[in-house]
A and B are shown apart, each in its own frame.
Chain A
């Protein structure tokens, strides 16, 4: 067939009309949530155990078609765009722990899980984690997936060479305070050439802050980041720098990998999920790491939640599905599959989780993670915490990396915090 110009134009016109009509029709009939037998679940890669998702799909297949969708890219912005657009909202949505504080003021977008009988399951989950999913009005928005207890990863061979305790139990006991930890760092630097206890000052500040119960903004929308509790964490980080315990290496770079492999950065304070990063990034160091308690006490980094949106047509069914997916058994599976540390203490005693880990020289790491997870303090996370914590975090980095004068840095941070607080309507 020869294509004439007229023919092409007609085809183009028809195409446009069809698109416009289709768009219009779709625009009028966009459903707010899922359709048909579908029950849509949004999460991100590695956010849930694939095995458990597959089993849940089969298990509830006679009632609903569970469509578990991994959403790539910037998850939170996609979820809130969809919620704000009121179209194709998933029935069940994963909420990342670090975003939780920003979802809670909009608790009306989600079903209050207490209305579905969540309270009777409360005792099976870590209390501090449960509290993180509760909004100001008392409604339960998020159902606990995993937690991220912070521990002390270290290389026993290097600690031994430095004349430091190197058995996990000894390290936990003898380096239990920041002061003893720093003293050990000085000894390490003296005895092992080129070795540093800390990669940067950020981890000291961050973990210290996590060990307390107050952060930057309180429940009354008042800025408390200038208080003694933040200042103490700041001073501790500055002290680590002053005592020469901090390397000039950027974490995550080839330099870091190489230094860790050569035993020059033999210690790392990080969450349970960092074990996965170590295994992936430094496969050659298999067997050369151990896990001990974090100096100064337990804290948490990361961990996420599942929530049921208001668009869900069958909240009872959805609740049945998420509580099954997140029971102690399946959370244990989540740890095995994806390194998701369970928020259900009953999982910690299961044989699957008490397997010796060859990467950690056959240590049963659960002996460290489990007790740490149970002792994490409850802290209030304000939706303004990120904005008002950032200047402090930026300035402690300037102290650590650029050697900025700590007093000047603190003044700069506080000055900036006051300006931001003023802008955001937070009192100070």
Chain B
């Protein structure tokens, strides 16, 4: 960061006084801190302490009720060699990629259209937001019908254009596509609204300048809109990564059958078994709370890794 401009760095003298002021400020503003403390207290109780406990748990064997038994690193050692866990990471990433890239494209197109819509703007915004606040369980049940083999809407469409039926929920790829479609449907509208907010922060004189310079709509989009939307894109990408990597209810409900079997198994060949689904199976089907906690931390590391990758990708593009 040696080449970083020194503009935002305040003069040395000013730094000293600010520091003193700041130190005094913490004490003199105790009322303000007290006033915002409910969030932090609740976060401590229901966020930080459980997170700490799950770390503690991952070094033990526990059936949820009896005595805990120290396991050292055994749970993590097993995690590293657990092919089921690795395959669940693969499933999650494939489903995430199948869902996120079409979703971002659709959301951006939707946002640009919403931005230029003149009438009923709020009606559109409401309509696009609706899928995101609909209960995922209800959505998954509807999608279960949409993707059913003989009477599903999807196969009806395929047959209408002369293609063969696909047993969506009975083939490994069909399952992944079905889950990804559900997630795309659910998140496109939400992200379109985020993009719309981003679009509206772009000053209109930039567009005017582009027009005067003779740029067409495509060029304007690629040279003006897209670069200025980069922070929004980063946000959308990070949020989609975090939610996509934690997908759970979608495969669980979509692949639920009335057969007497575990709802966490993820369908044939475990094609829909995401990381979080695997975590649930280990924890609540097998009552292996220690290993469940280790799986949860494995998931955490994967999410962190992908957040960093996302951030670096978008960041680097900004530099060149």
Contacts and interface: CB of A to CB of B under 8 A. Distances in A.
Interface stretch (A151-159, A234-242, A347-355, A386-394): A386-394
Contacts of A425: 61
Nearest to A76: B284
Contacts of A76: 284
A109 B151 CA distance: 50
Contact of A106 (B65, B144, B270, B284): B65
Contacts of B151: 254-255, 258
Interface string A81-117: 0011000000000000000001101100100000000
Size band of the B side of the interface? 35 or more
Contact of B257 (A74, A206, A252): A252
Interface residues of A, number: 53
A96 B187 CA distance: 37
The interface centre, meaning the residue of A12, A16, A199, A253 with most chain B CB atoms within 10 A of its CB, is A253
Interface stretch (A45-53, A243-251, A323-331, A356-364): A243-251
Interface string A135-170: 000000000000000000000000000000000000
B66 A106 contact: yes
Interface string B81-113: 010100000000000000000000000000000
B34 to A, nearest CB: 5
Nearest to B167: A248
Interface stretch (A60-68, A289-297, A395-403): A395-403
Contact of A277 (B172, B258, B284): B258
Contacts of B144: 253
Given A102-B287, A248-B167, A398 B269 contact: yes
A4 interface: no
A183 interface: no
Contacts of A251: 257-259
A386 B261 contact: no
B288 A387 contact: yes
Contacts of B61: 425
Contacts, number: 122
A390 B265 contact: yes
B38 A390 contact: no
Contacts of B148: 250, 253-255
Given A203-B259, A397-B268, A423-B78, A105 B63 contact: yes
B90 to A, nearest CB: 16
B66 A200 contact: no
A246 B21 CA distance: 78
A77 interface: yes
A248 B258 contact: no
Given A105-B63, A106-B66, A109-B65, A301 B260 contact: yes
Contacts of A12: 34-35, 38
A392 B32 CA distance: 59
A280 to B, nearest CB: 11
The interface centre, meaning the residue of A20, A74, A249, A423 with most chain B CB atoms within 10 A of its CB, is A423
A371 interface: no
Given A252-B256, A253-B144, A387 B286 contact: yes
A186 B145 CA distance: 30
Contacts of B259: 199-200, 202-203, 251-252
Interface string B33-60: 0110110010000000000000000000
Contact of B34 (A16, A249, A386, A397): A16
A74 B219 CA distance: 53
Contacts of A74: 284
Interface in B233-280: 256-262, 265, 268-270
B171 interface: yes
Contacts of B285: 386-387, 390
Interface string B156-175: 00000000000101111000
B260 A206 contact: yes
Given A386-B286, A402-B171, 10 more contacts: A76-B284, A77-B64, A80-B65, A249-B150, A259-B150, A383-B63, A386-B262, A387-B285, A387-B286, A401-B268
5 A-B pairs with least C-beta separation: A252-B258, A12-B35, A387-B286, A106-B65, A401-B268
Interface of B: 31-32, 34-35, 37-38, 41, 61, 63-66, 78, 82, 84, 144-145, 148-152, 167, 169-172, 256-262, 265, 268-270, 281, 284-288, 291
10 contacts: A16-B37, A77-B284, A203-B259, A206-B260, A277-B258, A301-B260, A383-B287, A386-B262, A398-B268, A398-B269
